[in-house]
Amino acid sequence: MTIETLKAQLNVLKIEVNSKIDALVASLQSTFDAMFDADDNLQKALIRLDQSNDYMWVDSGDIAAWLRFDFTGYADDEKYLKTYLQERHCIAADFDNGVLMQYWGPALVINHEGDILDQASGKWPIKKASYTDDDGKCIVALRNELLENYMEKTGCYPGVFITNRQGDIKLVDTQKKE
């Protein structure tokens, strides 16, 4: 047998083994997915996260809703839980800090000065001066109308958030008139 033949056989064997490993991992993930679907504690946490009013800035500059979660009992399943959460629910799990996070993606952000940033375009389409009265007081209904018009014009309806100097974040209901 030649070296070339042996190398070819080794490559074929590697492909076969990797294929079997991939199939076994997929089967294992499927079994874990069913287990996580039936996990009341986890499912209740996912509902609480979806209803959460707690937001934070993440390293990418995006905004994420977050929820404390006790990962005790999931440590051996970390890889499979992370995959389950990401692929089935678009949720990130931070085992080190005990947090579930749901990213909002690019948003419209009203900064502490009142100007509005469109994170997707990097532009500031609405200035505070366009929705304040002569005394500089915010006219919320006008601001919300301008936001709605902007979203309609762009055809994109992202989350709208307001932040203060300390970086606290709150979701804004642009359907509110007052």
Give tens-digit pLDDT for 116-170. Answer: 999 999 999 999 999 999 998 999 999 999 999 999 999 999 999 999 999 899 9
Which pLDDT band, with edges at 50, 70 and 90, does 178 fall under? low
Token pair, residue 116, equals 């509005």
Selected residue with higher pLDDT from 160 and 58: 160
Q: Which pLDDT does position 72 carry in this prediction?
A: 92
**pLDDT tens readout for residues 68-110:** 999 999 988 999 999 999 999 999 999 999 999 999 989 999 9
Say yes or no to pLDDT of 12 above 80.
Answer: yes
> Where residue 8 falls among pLDDT bands split at 50, 70, 90?
confident
Question: How far does CA 64 lie from the centroid of its chain?
Answer: 5
Using DSSP's 3-state secondary structure scheme, residue 90 falls into: coil
| Model pTM score | 0.78
Q: How far apart are CA 163 and CA 110, in angstroms?
A: 6
At position 106, the amino acid (one-letter code) is P
Nearest Cα to Cα of residue 128 among 78, 82, 167, 162:
162
Per-residue H/E/C for 23-89:
HHHHHHHHHHHHHHHCCHHHHHHHHHHHCCCCEEECCCCCEEEEEECCCCCCHHHHHHHHHHHHHHH
Residue 63 has pLDDT above 90, yes or no: yes
Say how far apart CA 151 and CA 160 lie, in whole Å: 10
- Token pair for residue 109? 């952000």
Predicted pLDDT of residue 177: 65
